[in-house]
Each structure stands twice: as C-alpha cells, then as structure tokens.
Chain A
Amino acid sequence: MSNRVAVVGTGISRFDNPRFELHEELCAEAVREMLADNPNIDYPKDIDAVMYSYFSDHLAGQLCFHWIIHDYLGLLPKPAYRVESGGATPVDALINAFMYIKSGIFKNVLVVGFEKMSELNTPKVNEMIAAASDTDWDFPVGGYYTGYYAVLETRHMHLYGETQEDLAKIAVKNHNNATFNPYSQWRSQHGTTFITVEDVFKSRLISWPYRAYNCAMISDGASCMLLSSEETAKKFTDSPVWVTGVGLGTDTMRPGDRVDNPMYKGLYPEDEALYPDVSTKTASPYPEMANFGSMRTSGDMAYNMAGIDDPVKQLDFAELFNPYDGVELAVYEDLRFCKLGDGKKLVREGVTEWGGQLPCQISGAHTAAGHPVGATSIAQAAQIYWQLTEQTANKWKTNARALSGAQRALLQGHGGTGCQSGVMIFERG
C-alpha cells in the first residue's frame, strides 16, 4: 500500500494589524474558507487529528490556546496537540502532520496555525519574541531579533559583498508581489502602489543594515491545511498536491556560538573551500555566522527524498522564510539555488523575481504579506497549493501573479536565528 501524503484543502484568514476578531474566530474563518472551496470534506467527520501551530504564549497571555481553538472548531474528542519551535512552528506542524499520516496511525490530519501579535505595543512584541533568544546572553545587551539577524547579515556582507541595494531589491520584489495578494497586510495598510529601492531607503533604520521595509511585519492572522493519505485523498479531490519531500535541521541557539562550531566543522567541504580571504578562516567556515546550516541540512534531506539535484531547474517557484531580506539572499545559497556567495547574483539577475527562472515569495511573505508566526508558513503553503492547482487567479481575482503549469515548489521555514529549519517539497498530481 502506498502511503504518499497529499494536500487536499487549505484556507487563510487575512494578515493584518490589528485583527479584532478572536484567535478562534480567525481559525474558524480559515477552516470555513477551506470547506467552502472543497465541499467534499465532510467536516468534522473526516478530520482524524489536528496539529496546532502557534508560537508565543506571551503574546496573548494565554497558555494552551489550542484547547480553546479545538473545541471552538467543534473537533472534540479528536486527538490534537500543539507544535512550538519559534518561526519554524508552522512548517514543523505541517511536517508532523506528514509524519503522522506516513505512520499510518491517522489518515487525515488538519493543521491550524494562528497568532495575534497586536495585543502588545511594538517594543514589547520585540521583547516577547526576544524571549526566544538566550535571555542570559543575547537579550540583555539590547539584542532582539532584528539585531541578531542584522549581525548575521553584516557578517555575510563582509564575506560575500552584497550591498544594502541588493537587500532593498529583495524588499521591492516582495512588497510589489504582496500588492496583488488579498490576504496581505501590506496591501491592507499601504494599498496597491508599487515601491522602489528609494522608498526602502526612506523607511526608518531599524538595525543596520536593515531598514523597516527589510523587516517582517507584526501581524494577526490564521491559516489551515488538510493533509491526507493517498487512499483518502481521492475522496476529497481529483487534483491533490503531493508532499514529496520533507527535511529538518538545527543550529546553535546563540548565533555567536557558530564561528568554530565543532559539529559543523568539515560537514560541507565544498563551501569551506569558497571562504573568502577577507577574514581569518574560522574552524567551521560554513555556515559560520553568515549562512544558515540548519537550512542546508533540512534542504538536502528534502531534496534527497524528492529526488532533486538541481533545484533551480527542478523547482518552479519557492516560498522561503524571510523575516529579514538578507535571510532570503543567504537561503538561496543554503538551499543550493546558487553557489555560496552568489546569492547577490540571483538578486541582480532577477532570477527570483516574478517572471524569473525561480520566483521566490510570490505571496510577498513575511515582510509584506505579514508574519503572524504560527500561521505564516501554512499560509505560504496555501499559496503554493493554489499555484500548483492553478487556483491563484481565482483566489486573488487577478492573473498578475498566477503561474500556469507549475509542477513543483519548495517551502522553507525556520525559527530563531536559523536554530531550527524545515523544508517541504510540493508537487502537483
């Protein structure tokens, strides 16, 4: 018996700040969208188990929030539990659902992701997120996530020479994509006018080299996705999207511990050889503090499972985890879209823009579609599902960002400063 895993339905409740509806109401809206789009789902009968994805108990002052959501969604007494791994939470929830189904224990697993970040003011939200860094070391010096990612990006710029203009170009690409997305926070707050590199430079400095438009938004929102075994998938849809690869990887909690990390030393000799002579070579030159080893490890595992050896050729598009624009550039390298140090070339040649060979972040992603942590990667997976089933034009009410004939896409998510990463490969049937 085959035990392939399919995506058979999905929904999003739009990202914005604030959303005044309750967390459970946002989740209900996402599930209602999925049910409206796929009337073959007999709800709740067809749901065998649920994975809940949300990041911070602090942001809402509510522990075990999924118990509230679960009964609200009318899913008692079905098995359910919560996944939490910072920004990697939603991709981990999807991967867990995949593994549940692979195990044969459950046939249909619903994944529900949500977060409301608007209940605290912006510095306080940053403080609560910074509680997911080492609070004895990185946080007390005035660090918080934009700062941690900024020091990583400074190191990458120092070694590999991309500029703030390159980062601004990534911001422009993603924001302009988001202007078409009817679920995006940027469009809700700023409308549909395109931005330019100059606009990015005019936005306020947050942590050099990052300016406001280079950074993830603080958002409320929800999303859901139903994954099914091959035998039950055909009951729901004639056009399932298959999950053909998943991967996981980890790196240090404190980014400062990565310079000579003995666990990464010698793992990637081809990258170690590319270390430029602008700096004294560290003991673990890849990933060092410039790149993301967890993403390399998770990407390689997923590629191996899905039989991918040339991602730029074999993938049609990707949704990456881009809380800050330098991450997107580094991840191009970590996921082998190009050689180490060549991320800037992909930006300059427009490879990842709409119309390029491998468009990335067609949704707009974290900096423009919004980033309600527990919901983000599931919403990106929803956009992947709509692209692969050619529903985007209908969902977005425009074909400006709708792909035709796309076969295969990648989703990457991570938490912390790349402390943990997950990758999934989706393919149309």
Chain B
Amino acid sequence: MTYRPKKIVEAFEYNKKWDEWAKQGDWSTIGWRWVEGPRGHRLDQLSSANYLVIQRPHASVYHHSYGMISKFFKGLLEKKLYGTKCPKCGLTFCPPRAHCWTPGCGLQETEWVELPLRGEVHTFSIMAFSATPFLKTLPFIIAYVRVEGCCTTVPTRLTNINPWEVYPGLKVNIHFVDNTKGDIMDLYCTPSETPDPSKCMMTAEGIERLKNDVRKVRDWVVGKFGEEAKPSVNI
C-alpha cells in the first residue's frame, strides 16, 4: 500500500486482484515478431528492412486523493451535488475549486454550497469513438452542463434524447446513477423540457447521416462486446 492515511474512516475496498493484474503488467517481454518494413526518411527514398518488434505490457493502480475538494466526490457517493462559493467575489464553482481564481481575490479559500439538480447544456458532442475504457458504452452524448448558478460547466453524459435533438441552451435535470462510486460518472443528465425542433443544429441530410453513423457504431459495439455492450444512444 503506497497511500497511508492516519485513519481509515470508511472504505469501499477494491478487489485486490487489481494489484495482481497491475503486477502482471511489469514491462516484461511477452512476445515478439520479426517483420519486414520500409526504411528511409522520405517517401521517394525508401528501401526495405527487417525489424524485431517485442510486446511489453505495463499497468499500475494509482491511489489518488481528491484533496480539499473531496467533499464533492463524497457528495456524489451520497447523491448530493456540491459546489464551492467564493465569499469575496461571490462566484460559484462546479467543478469546485478550494481556492478562488478571480484576479483580486488572492486565492481566497471558498465555502461549500449544495447545488440544485438543474442545469443547461452549454455544448455537446455525439461520441462515436473513444479511449479504451469507454468503447463498450458507445455511442453516447457528452454534454458540458452549467449547473444553475455556477460560473463553470461540468462534463456529463446526456441520455433520454435523440442525438440530433440536442442543442446548446437545452434545460436538463441532473441525476445520480444507482450505484455511485465517487467519480464524475456518478452524474448524468436528461432533458427537463421537450427539445425545440427549431433549435436543431443539423440539416435533414445531416440527421440522416448521423442516424446511419450511430447505427454503425452501435452495431460495432454490440458485435465486439456482446452482453457487456451498453450503448446509451439507440435509434
């Protein structure tokens, strides 16, 4: 254990197999290939060469403290949404900051406030590809949501809406997932109003193209991950 607290008040202990799995990713060579490939610094000056390519895994388990904004993430576990407010300039931050960044506030320490579970989509994207941990949840919508009264926006997942119906300004409700685990994925949003079709950002042709794209991504994810696939956008 690399992280030594004075006292463990409460814990959700991780499966210790992760330590074993991380140990297995210890940089040892696990395989090799002798390959033929091009050699040369310009495309018009290429020759052929052989290369030995090895495979070498690496993995780690980080013991990461959320520091002075731990209350926000503990709040997620308890299904409460907190932000911080600067007593000097009055700005409310969510994501929270323990110190205010406003010029003139001199990194004033902020105070905790509970926030309403309402907000507005500031901007969004429909994700059809992602980093490794999220592939099986494709396709999904990421929305940066301004929680009511805050000066910053929070990245969240947006569900219960067709992707072409989303637009900046859409009002949303903020929810907690059933099994919270203390990270930002404990939150998600759904529309709190019927989307206004006049605010749609896409042409009819663009919507058709998107429907087709989303179908392809969903089929790929279902084909690759089977029962583990959890697409959050369905057409």
Using a CB–CB cutoff of 8 Å, the interface residues on chain A facing chain B are 11-14, 16, 18, 20-21, 26, 29-30, 32-33, 61, 123-124, 126-127, 130, 136-144, 146-147, 150-152, 154-155, 157-158, 163-164, 182-184, 187-188, 201, 204-209, 254-257, 259-260, 262-263, 279-280, 283, 289, 397
Contacts and interface: CB of A to CB of B under 8 A. Distances in A.
A20 B37 contact: yes
Contacts of B213: 204-205, 208
8 contacts: A14-B41, A127-B133, A141-B184, A151-B144, A205-B213, A205-B216, A257-B95, A262-B102
B135 A123 contact: yes
A182 B43 contact: yes
B6 to A, nearest CB: 23
A141 B157 contact: yes
Contacts of A11: 41
B50 to A, nearest CB: 9
Interface stretch (B12-20, B107-115, B120-128): B120-128
B129 A256 contact: no
Interface of B (DSSP majority class): mixed
A397 B144 CA distance: 48
Across the A-B interface, the 5 shortest Cβ-Cβ residue pairs: A150-B125, A142-B134, A127-B131, A256-B153, A205-B213
Contact of B130 (A142, A209, A397): A142
B151 A30 contact: no
A208 B126 contact: yes
Nearest to B131: A127
B75 interface: no
Contacts of B206: 164
A137 B123 contact: no
Interface string B38-78: 11111110000101010010100000101000000000000
Contact of A126 (B40, B89, B130, B217): B130
Interface string B77-103: 000000000000101000100000111
Nearest to A187: B43
A408 B89 CA distance: 45
Given A201-B209, A208-B126, A130 B41 contact: no
Contact of B42 (A136, A151, A183): A183
Nearest to B155: A141
A214 to B, nearest CB: 12
A188 B58 CA distance: 31
Contact of A29 (B41, B91, B129, B209): B41
Contacts of A141: 142, 155-157, 184-185
A26 B40 CA distance: 9
Interface of B: 27, 35, 37-44, 49, 51, 53, 56, 58, 64, 66, 89, 91, 95, 101-103, 122-135, 137, 140, 142, 144, 146, 151-157, 163, 167-169, 183-185, 201, 203, 206, 209-210, 213-214, 216-217
A11 B41 CA distance: 10
Nearest to A202: B209
A289 B144 contact: yes
A157 B156 CA distance: 20
B54 to A, nearest CB: 10
A381 B156 CA distance: 38
Main secondary structure of the interface of A (DSSP, over half): mixed
Contacts of B163: 208
Nearest to A206: B129
Contacts, number: 178
Contacts of B134: 142
A137 B155 contact: yes
A182 B42 contact: yes
Contact of A262 (B103, B125, B126, B156): B103
Contacts of B183: 136, 140
A154 B39 contact: no
Contact of B49 (A20, A126, A256): A20
Given A188-B43, A262-B102, A158 B168 contact: yes
Contacts of B123: 151-152, 154-155, 158, 289
Nearest to B153: A256
Nearest to B58: A61
Given A137-B154, A155-B122, A183-B42, 14 more contacts: A29-B41, A30-B41, A61-B56, A140-B185, A142-B127, A143-B155, A154-B168, A205-B128, A205-B129, A205-B217, A207-B125, A208-B126, A256-B122, A283-B151
Contact of A263 (B27, B103, B133, B157): B103
A151 B91 contact: no
A280 to B, nearest CB: 8
B210 A208 contact: yes
A150 B123 CA distance: 9
B99 to A, nearest CB: 13
Given A154-B201, A256-B155, A18 B140 contact: no
Contacts of A209: 125
Contact of B101 (A30, A130, A201, A262): A262
Contacts of A123: 129-132, 135
A256 B184 CA distance: 14
B42 A289 contact: no
Given A262-B101, A397-B44, A207 B129 contact: yes
A138 B58 CA distance: 23
Given A141-B184, A183-B42, A127 B132 contact: yes
A151 B102 contact: no
Contact of B53 (A20, A139, A164): A20
Nearest to A290: B123
A18 to B, nearest CB: 7
Contact of A144 (B41, B130, B146, B157): B130
A33 B41 contact: yes
Question: Which of B103, B122, B140 is most buried by chain A, counting CB atoms within 10 A of its CB?
Answer: B122
Nearest to B183: A140
A222 to B, nearest CB: 8
